[in-house]
């Protein structure tokens, strides 16, 4: 280790974990995040700001993949912590179906959010 190596910033273990999780959820980076944000805005009839939608999408995507038994009740519990007021029951159902579709698309065909699209009321990849 050289003298100047001491002054280089070191990655914190928590940041490395967060970066790894983000890369696994959104392999195509901002393209995936934007696709999911846009779908959430569609589900919510564009009644919230895109930055709020992005925050909700990123957090709920993580919960949907990390939670052992992710179901609608788990999604409601998650959303009730900070944004449930933006959703009605029908929108929660639609959002839950979207998140489950993303998980299945990634698991089965290694597809990312930017590769999943809505056709009518269904999602395909």
Whether 117 maps to a domain, the answer reads: yes
Residue 117 predicted with pLDDT over 50: yes
Contact between 95 and 78 under an 8 Å Cβ cutoff? The reply is no
Residue 6 confidence (pLDDT): 47
Higher pLDDT, 12 or 61: 61
Whether 9 maps to a domain, the answer reads: no
Taking residues 76-84, what's their average pLDDT?
97
pLDDT digits (tens, 9 = 90+) for 43-72: 999 999 999 999 999 999 999 999 989 999
Whether 16 maps to a domain, the answer reads: no
* Total structural domains within the chain: 1
Taking residues 68-81, what's their average pLDDT?
96
Q: How far apart are CA 94 and CA 118, in angstroms?
A: 11
Whether 23 maps to a domain, the answer reads: no
Whether 113 maps to a domain, the answer reads: yes
Q: Measured at the alpha carbon of residue 32, what is the angle toward residues 28 and 102, in degrees to the nearest 5?
A: 110
Q: Measured at the alpha carbon of residue 48, what is the angle toward residues 76 and 27, in degrees to the nearest 5?
A: 70
Whether 63 maps to a domain, the answer reads: yes
Whether 45 maps to a domain, the answer reads: yes
Range of the domain at 60: 28-124
Higher pLDDT, 53 or 24: 53
Whether 1 maps to a domain, the answer reads: no
Residue 5 predicted with pLDDT over 80: no
Q: What's this model's pTM, rounded to 2 decimal places?
A: 0.86
């Amino acid at each position: 280790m050289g003298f100047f190596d001491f002054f280089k910033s070191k990655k914190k273990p928590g940041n490395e974990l967060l970066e790894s999780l983000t890369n696994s959820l959104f392999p195509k980076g901002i393209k995936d995040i934007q696709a999911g944000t846009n779908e959430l805005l569609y589900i919510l009839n564009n009644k919230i700001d895109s930055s709020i939608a992005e925050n909700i999408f990123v957090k709920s995507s993580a919960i949907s993949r990390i939670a052992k038994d992710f179901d609608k009740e788990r999604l409601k519990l998650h959303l009730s912590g900070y944004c449930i007021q933006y959703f009605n029951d029908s929108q929660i159902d639609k959002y839950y179906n979207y998140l489950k579709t993303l998980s299945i698309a990634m698991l089965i065909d290694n597809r990312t959010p930017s590769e999943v699209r809505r056709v009518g009321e269904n999602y395909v990849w």
